Structures are given as structure tokens and as C-alpha cells.
Structure 1
Amino acid sequence: MVATSAKDVDSAEVVKHIAHFLKKSGKVKLPEGADLVKLGQSKELAPIDPDWYYIRCAAIARRLYSRPTGVGGLRKIYGGKLRRGVQPNHWIAGCGSVCRRALQTLEHLKWVQKGPEGKGRIISKQGRKDLDRIAADAKSKQVAEQY
């Protein structure tokens, strides 16, 4: 039987299961002011979902599973258009401090480590193992719901 990886399961399902695992484990603490922070200059309000930090950490972990990247790359991923009224829209990068804190949280869990020569972050062996286990669990639940 072939082992299931985090790439084999639907990304939304994997992120949801990873976020649930992070919240349930109790090892991830919400940063101070998490209810007030905006996720970028292009946003008007703070996130509505109270579990947004767990979801962001889970999404970053899944993304690092596929491709190593750093804070700058994550800012590009989570950027958006800044609406300026009657002036043309501009693209603007996402919040760097949220990406940085999420990476630091994942490093604290030993899921992420610094890349070679200090460039970006990569997923660690422990992180790959845990994400594969969570993905296999998510896939088994998805198969069980079909029948």
C-alpha cells in the first residue's frame, strides 16, 4: 500500500485537519493582539474567524511541504490588491510579521527549520512525518464519509 502524503489530499481538507491538530495540541499560542491585527495593508478589518492563526500556520506548513520559501515569498502569496477609491488598484504584499510569527511557531514545534545558507525555511523530517500522518488521517476520514 502506498503511503499518503500531504500532496495527495485536497489542500483545504489537509489545512483544516492540521489547524485542528495545532489547536488541539495546545502547543501553539496565539500572539498578543491577535484579535486586532490586520493580515495586510490591503485589508480593512481583522480576520473574523477566531482560529485564523491556526489556519495560517497550517497553510504555511502545507506550502513549505511542497516548496521551501521565506518570509518574503509568503508575503507575496498572502498579498492582495489595495483598493484606493477612484485611483487604480495596486498589488501590495501581505503582513510580514504574521508570516514571521507563524514560521517561528512552526520552528518551535520542530516542523520547520532554516534552509541551507540561511535562505528561507524548509520542512523538517519531524514536520514531514507529522503532516503525512495528519494527511493520511484526513484521507481515511474522507473515504469513510463517501461510504
Structure 2
Amino acid sequence: MTNVNEVPADLLIEILASKLKDENIVTPPEWSNFVKTGSHAERPPQSDDWWYVRCASLLRKVYLHGPIG
């Protein structure tokens, strides 16, 4: 059986993000179109799917490192 550690991160995040979006598991809040991703960013993200990619990335990190904090 394949483990998360064996799958390339970019491939896993891409597939997981599309699954989150297609199955309506996570819905972005209304204000997500107007926010920046960090204090260093000048503009909001260009991609419409950035919320799902961010959620998929966080899910991967929590799986790898466990609940933190």
C-alpha cells in the first residue's frame, strides 16, 4: 500500500485539492476572494482554486507531522 511519504507532494496536493472541490467537502468562505495569502503578498492569489490547494496542503502537513499546538 502506498504511503503519503512515498507520493510526491505536488501530485498529492493537486489530486486532493481537486477531490475537495469536486465533492464539495470544503467550501471557501465568501471573503476568500478578497484576502491575501500573507503579509508579504501584494495581491490576492490569481488561481480560483487556491483555497482548495491550501486546504489540501494543510491536510498533508497534519498527516505527516500530527496535530500541532
How many residues of Structure 1 are paired with residues of Structure 2 in the alignment?
69
Q: Distance in 2 between matches of 1:48 and 1:4?
A: 33
Percent of residue pairs identical: 32
Q: Distance in 2 between matches of 1:65 and 1:53?
A: 18
Quote the residue 1:9 is aligned against.
7
Moved over 3 A (4+): none
CA RMSD of the aligned region, Å? 1.1
Q: Distance in 2 between matches of 1:29 and 1:44?
A: 24
Q: Which amino acid aligns with 1:42?
A: H
Quick one: which of 18, 21, 34 aligns to 1:20? 18
Return the TM-score normalized by structure 1. Answer: 0.45
Quote the residue 1:47 is aligned against.
45
Q: Distance in 2 between matches of 1:20 and 1:5?
A: 19
Q: Which amino acid aligns with 2:41?
A: K
Q: Distance in 1 between matches of 2:66 and 2:41?
A: 26
- Any residues of structure 2 matched to 1:1-147 within 5 Å, and which? 3-70=1-68, 120=69
Return the TM-score normalized by structure 2. Answer: 0.91
- The structure carrying a bigger strand percent of its residues is 1
Of structures 1 and 2, the one scoring higher in RCO (CA 8 A, sep 6+) is 2
Tell which structure's C-alpha radius of gyration is larger: 1
Gaps of 5+ in 2: none
Gaps of 5+ in 1: 71-119, 121-147
- Show CA shifts across 1:16-40 (max 9, x none): 0000110011121111211110111
Q: Distance in 2 between matches of 1:66 and 1:27?
A: 21
